Amino acid sequence: MKKASLFLLLAVCCSSYGPQKEKWVSLFDGKSLDGWKVGENASTFSVDNGTIKVAGPRAHLFYEGKEQPFKNFEFKAKVMTTPGSNSGIYFHTEYQEKGWPQKGYEVQVNNSHTDWKRTGSLYDIQDVKEVYVKDNEWYTESIKVEGKHVTIKVNDKTVVDYTEPDNVERSPDHKYRVIGKGTFALQGHDPKSVVYYKDIQVRRLPD
């Protein structure tokens, strides 16, 4: 066998048995909140025409499906805000019955709320002042975590590229805002905020 043919055979074998990317997994079936759990103010979340509608008092909807916890991953969702609304996507978090989630990071969803920290912000860690998308229009928000590296994109535009320092020290109110592992949560911020989510998907990356 010629060397070129041997190398080609080895390359094919290695690609067949080497690490494979996991497939995208849907976290929302478009019909129900199966696999999700909410504590206080559960009525803030409902299924509306194939979307998760967020409208009501402060509440958080946690993904509790069999696929979690997640460590390294790619996450994406289609989001639509309405004027003056505020929401967020948490990762590496865990279920809480009430209050603001203590564990994990929040990725901001906000194009016109009075809070200046806009969509795509890694909230209170690396904030975004620019507005990249409009209210009442669907856009894609994606989060990628590899080790301590976090990349956030809005419609495929990178708006945050952050690496958590080793032995990072946070303020007391953000004590658990650190890389670890956990699940995702959607935020209901306040009664005046109405936000929609759909096509919520995740893909694991190698640990």
pLDDT tens figures, 53-99: 999 999 999 999 988 899 999 999 999 999 999 999 999 999 999 99
How many other CB atoms are found less than 10 A from the CB of residue 63?
24
Residue with tokens 């003056």: 84
CA atoms of 117 and 122, how far apart (whole Å)? 9
- Determine contact, residues 119/131, Cβ cutoff 8 Å: yes
Residue with tokens 């989510």: 197
CATH of domain 21-204: 2.60.120.560
Q: 0.85 cut: is pTM over it? A: yes
Using the predicted structure, report yes or no on whether residue 7 has a pLDDT greater than 70. no
Find the angle CA(14)-CA(16)-CA(21) to the nearest 5 degrees: 105
How many other CB atoms are found less than 10 A from the CB of residue 206?
10
